[in-house]
Chains A and B, each alone.
Chain A
């Protein structure tokens, strides 16, 4: 089944304890991205990656890191989490370069992160 898989689904952590949220896709997509969703603010892009080894900041990158060492994986790293990073996080992927009009985005099931 074609899908984007995020882990963990739920995570409660303490301020300052480094964590990684994994994202993997099995569709051979070039493009991957991370979004966070907050009440009243909607979904906002954190980082994106056009292809392996190429990443760039989105709208709200502060406090986050990413890496794209292989096409299928795009982990989100919080080096020193803070309470304002409590949110619902989504990973997405897209073929992107192959006919941008025709191809949409596939999203993972989300990771609910609470930082106390």
Chain B
């Protein structure tokens, strides 16, 4: 059974810092991995999708990497801003469903 773990559970940083969010998964048989952003009580916004054959994807200040063999992904956020404050979820796509981690709650202070 696929299990997804995200570390840390919560992170508080001052504005401008570069930061890394971690995601690990137990079964490497995945189609892809998605990183989502969720604001409190809101929906899920897809940030990046990394196919299982890829090593990384970039979008603006965000860079996500994938090491399928070791079951790890990282989300790198450069020059963090208060608007980046949210919960970040990683999800691995296996047969018939996404399996989610429980998220990292990020707070960026001005």
Using a CB–CB cutoff of 8 Å, the interface residues on chain A facing chain B are 33, 35, 40-43, 45, 48, 50, 56, 58, 88, 90, 92, 100-110, 112
Number of chain B interface residues as a range: 20 to 34
Q: Which residues of chain B have C-beta atoms less than 8 A from A58's C-beta?
A: 97
Most buried by B among A40, A43, A100, A107: A43
How far, in angstroms, from A33 to B52 measured CA to CA in the complex?
Answer: 22
Which of the segments B14-22, B37-45, B70-78 contacts the partner chain? B37-45
- Residues of B near A90 (CB, < 8 A) are 43-44
**Is A108 a contact partner of B43 (Cβ separation < 8 A)?**
yes
Max chain B CB contacts within 10 Å: which of A104, A108, A109? A104
Does chain A have a CB within 8 A of B34?
A: yes
Residue of A with least CB distance to B49: A104
Cβ of B53: which chain A residues have Cβ within 8 Å of it?
101
Residue-by-residue, is B35-67 near A (CB-CB < 8 Å gives 1, otherwise 0)? 010000111101001011100000000000000
Q: Chain B: interface secondary structure?
A: strand
A93 to B: closest C-beta gap in Å: 12
Output the nearest chain A residue to B6 by Cβ-Cβ distance.
Answer: A42
- Which residues of B are in contact with A by a Cβ distance under 8 Å? 31-32, 34, 36, 41-44, 46, 49, 51-53, 89, 91, 93, 96-98, 100-103
Which residues on B sit within 8 Å (CB–CB) of A106? 46
Decide: A101 near B31, CB < 8 A? Known: A40-B102, A43-B100: yes
Closest to A4 in B: B43
A50 to B97, CA, bound (A): 10
What are 18 A-B pairs with beta-carbon distances under 8 A? A41-B102, A42-B101, A42-B103, A43-B98, A43-B100, A48-B96, A48-B97, A88-B41, A90-B44, A92-B98, A100-B31, A100-B93, A102-B32, A105-B93, A105-B98, A106-B46, A107-B36, A112-B41
